[in-house]
Chain A
Amino acid sequence: MAKREIAIIEDEQMIRDNYIDYLTRQGYTVSGFSTQQQALAIFDQALPDLVILDIGLGDDVDAGFELCRELRNRSATLPIIFLTARDSDFDSVAGLRLGADDYLTKEISLPHLAARIAALFRRVTAMQQEQPDNSPLIIGDLRLDSDRLTAHWQDTPVPLTVTEFWMLHALVRHPGHVRSREQLMDEARIYVDVTSISTHIKRIRRKFLDLDARFKHIESVYGAGYRWQH
């Protein structure tokens, strides 16, 4: 199988080089761009298999968003990860709305990033093969497919990011047990402050509520964490 191609669009050269080095060692073909224009010039010829984007590029503070919108127009399935220093909820919501598969801040360690990339590729592969799930996790109306990183509620797909999927997965694996925020962070392989965990949980809840107004299985246990209420 040919090497997967990853494109990194990041204006800080040293960071870009570090990412390229690391991911290259992981066995990917990595190309780096510092501006939106450079990247688009290459993407006109061929799209990579995965794109890692910074939001602010050079003087253009929102270049990453524009690029994401452009890429999503060209391909609905291309995995896109935002990797940025901007950690406000506003930015992450905006990024995910534009169709990014994940929104990560730069504290994330390279191994964690690599794990996400691998997971996303696994999902792409699983989707392409269209094989039945090997080991879906089914709890009530919820079905979690760890290979494809997909969740279904009453047979309707729930559009979760990788981070959100892993958090939900952590909750569902031990239904009825409280998962602390720290545990959820570990499982989702991110390191953020505690407030962001509740933001993530809120966002997951919202996505389920959009499908089913009566959904109340994710319970806040104040002072401890969250649990999947059966």
Chain B
Amino acid sequence: MPQRQHPHFFQSLRFKLLLASLSLLLIPWAGYHYLLEMESSLRQAQEALLSNRAEIVANMLAADSDNWLPETGPGGNQTANSLYIHPLENPPDIDGYAEDWLALKSQSRRFDASASRADAVSFDWLAGFHAGLLYLMIEIRDERLVYPRSDRRLNDGDHLILALPGPAAKARLYLLGTSAPGWINAIEAGSGREQSAIRGEWQESPQGYRVELRVPRSLANGRLSLAVVDIDQPGAAPAGIASTSGWRNNDNLALLVMPTLQTDRLLQGLDSQTHRYSILNLERQVIGRHGSISPAIDIGNNPLSRLFSLLISVPTASTGDSREKLGRLDGPEIRRALSGEGGIYRYQLPGSKVMTLSAAHPILVDDRVTGTVVVEQTTREILLLQQSASDRLLLISLMLFVITGGALLLFASSLTRRITRLNRKYHQAVSKDGRIVHEVSATRDRDELGELDRSLRAVLQRSKAYTTYLESMASRLAHEFRTPLTIVQSSLENIQNDSDRASASPYAKRALEGTRRLNLILTRLREATRLEQALQSAERVDVDITGLCRSLCSGYAGSYRQIAFDCQIPDHAIQARLAPELISQALDKLVSNAVDFHRPRTAICIELATREEETATILVRNQGPPLADEIKQRLFDSMVSLRNTRDDQPHLGLGLYLVRLIAEFHQGRTWAANEDDGVCFAIDLPCRTPGSKP
């Protein structure tokens, strides 16, 4: 059988086409780039929209400024002293500890004493409101703590002064202090009355002390001032005073800035799901806030989305928005707005691809900037849009890839299968030594492969015709030689016959001998053709090969009396379906060959062996000169002879060829091998040992 080597998968047509189909991956790549461009244009559109929105809201607020502007406290030039009050979600515990204020700590405001000494008193201010109460958290840095000896005489030690608006434009002052850490006393200056509505707790801290206060909003009425009085010697004059502002008159008190109901109402009608509106005063303090920009996002949970989220970062759950709780905003766009022009800026949220767009627009009342509207929106919408588009893009690309790849694979498989079939067909049609074993029929496919098949078949047919021509050449030559040879022979025979009367010519006798040999050669030349004809009509019968071989052995022993034959034939019967005449003819050739080459006085061994219960091998061994390796394969070809000895027999190198024809007729094969001290020729024949089914 011809050996067929399947190409490795990576060298196969299938793999190459699959590789080509990888070019489909350009689709998602192109799509991704398109999406990026889409994102940037969407963002631009979003910025424009956002700016417009900020402008509209600003104009709206400006038109309605009468209703809300006074509520927010001082406008214009009155802003020198203002205190920002943060809205609180939960009321803090009044315990003198800062835990409740941690979130706002960074926004605390520092006030220093007017004195320039390095160890002068200073404090951090934080304030918030919840319902009707104001909460203050004051962190005081004081190197030396001095407590008053009595709660009645608070100005003997460190204390605070809280100034609230009072009657007749005069501020009402309260001294806040305690003789030991704990609840503070609030005593109105002058009257010495204790004000129980003001509650507070005093705790020492590493830097000094901390006071947490609760003051009803009604008492403050929008204005408040706080001073810290530092006493270093009991009863002595204050070493330093730090305050938020002046505290003598109502007008001196700092204005409390806090989001007001009025502005809230104005903003109420605006979309609050995706935008956040902040109204800032000139101090950039938030005086109104509405909406949220970090709604929970429904993230697709399908594997595709998760796969895609690896490629493009997707907004995950609400990320920390630092501006959410700020009481005072800052940024380029805000500064720009305060200078009278609208601006927009883009913030990257930490740890996310989500951006926050912030558009600011000044609120112009009578051509004067009175505040700023800041409208914020995240690019989350765009990202979500991008994500869903990407999802679909990926899905479509994947489907396209699968469909096209599958189609290509199928196509390649079908091509490969056809090519393999073609390959096998022609491999099987031609034997290893190049002879055409059987006819092939071409397919009717109209494509290139069909064309290839037909042209291969045509080549094969032409080759077969040529081979037939070559093979029959000897036969035809022999046939053509026969007539002139007969003329010569019959003429010579006439001469001889005549020579009874004339002189007997030795030349005629020699010539006649020559014609006899020529006849022999011609007969041998025709032998192969005759055998091929005989094979066509040969009948195969079930024969016991052992019996046949035994009979042959005894036959050879009789025919070659001067040569010893060593026959090794198994006892059990080996059945095979074959033409015994032909097998004996083949063995005749091998034995005659062995006889010609064997070393005198050595035995010729005839052995019958079975292999794997299905092949019987008849071996003929003789001691003698070994075979050259390069000739071993060709020995069984037509017209190949190794003999260099001369005798009167013509040797045309057809004997072993006939053996091969006979072996192949029996679906067997022939081979030759060198052995230790001689050569071995063998015929493998299919057989069946008793027990195995035919």
Contacts and interface: CB of A to CB of B under 8 A. Distances in A.
B556 A224 contact: yes
A112 to B, nearest CB: 10
Contacts of B548: 222
Contacts of A198: 581, 585
Interface stretch (A29-37, A58-66, A154-162, A186-194): A186-194
Range for the number of chain B residues in contact with chain A: 35 or more
B591 interface: yes
B551 A223 contact: yes
B588 interface: yes
Contacts of A107: 482, 486, 489, 519, 522-523
Interface stretch (A83-91, A119-127, A128-136, A166-174): A83-91
Interface stretch (B41-49, B223-231, B524-532): B524-532
Residue among A19, A21, A223 with max Cβ neighbours from chain B (10 Å): A223
Contacts of A89: 530, 533-534, 537
Range for the number of chain A residues in contact with chain B: 35 or more
A15 B497 CA distance: 16
Given A87-B526, A221-B551, A18 B490 contact: yes
Given A88-B530, A223-B591, A110 B493 contact: yes
Given A220-B581, A223-B551, A195 B527 contact: yes
Nearest to A84: B482
The B interface is mostly helix, strand or loop, or mixed, namely helix
A12 interface: yes
Interface in B516-574: 519, 522-524, 526-527, 530-531, 533-534, 537, 548, 551-556, 558-559
A43 to B, nearest CB: 24
Interface string B345-357: 0000000000000
A87 B530 contact: yes
Interface in B492-515: 493-494, 497-498
B530 A196 contact: yes
Residue among A21, A90, A180, A195 with max Cβ neighbours from chain B (10 Å): A195
A224 B558 contact: yes
The A interface is mostly helix, strand or loop, or mixed, namely mixed
B479 interface: yes
Nearest to B531: A195
Nearest to A11: B483
B530 A222 contact: no
B483 A193 contact: no
Contacts of A191: 519, 523
A77 interface: no
Nearest to A93: B537
Contacts of B559: 180, 223-224
Contact of B487 (A18, A193, A220, A221): A18
Nearest to B539: A202
A178 B494 contact: no
Nearest to B587: A223
Contact of A15 (B487, B583, B587): B487
Interface string A83-105: 00111111000000000000000
Nearest to A224: B555
A85 B522 CA distance: 11
A178 B558 CA distance: 9
A97 to B, nearest CB: 15
B482 A109 contact: no
Contact of B552 (A109, A199, A222): A222
A223 B584 contact: yes
B497 A195 contact: no
A22 interface: yes
A195 B491 contact: no
Contacts of B342: none
Nearest to B525: A193
B580 interface: yes
Residue among A19, A86, A224 with max Cβ neighbours from chain B (10 Å): A224
Given A106-B483, A109-B489, A195 B558 contact: no
Nearest to B498: A25
Contacts of A222: 548, 551-552, 555, 580, 583-584, 587
A109 B513 CA distance: 12
A85 B481 CA distance: 10
A19 B490 CA distance: 7
Given A22-B493, A192-B523, A15 B486 contact: yes
Interface in B457-499: 479, 482-483, 485-487, 489-491, 493-494, 497-498
A191 to B, nearest CB: 7
Interface of A: 12, 14-15, 18-19, 21-22, 25, 85-90, 106-107, 109-111, 178, 180, 191-196, 198-199, 220-225
Given A89-B533, A90-B533, A222-B587, 5 more contacts: A18-B491, A110-B494, A195-B585, A223-B554, A224-B556
7 contacts: A15-B486, A22-B494, A87-B530, A193-B527, A198-B585, A222-B555, A223-B587
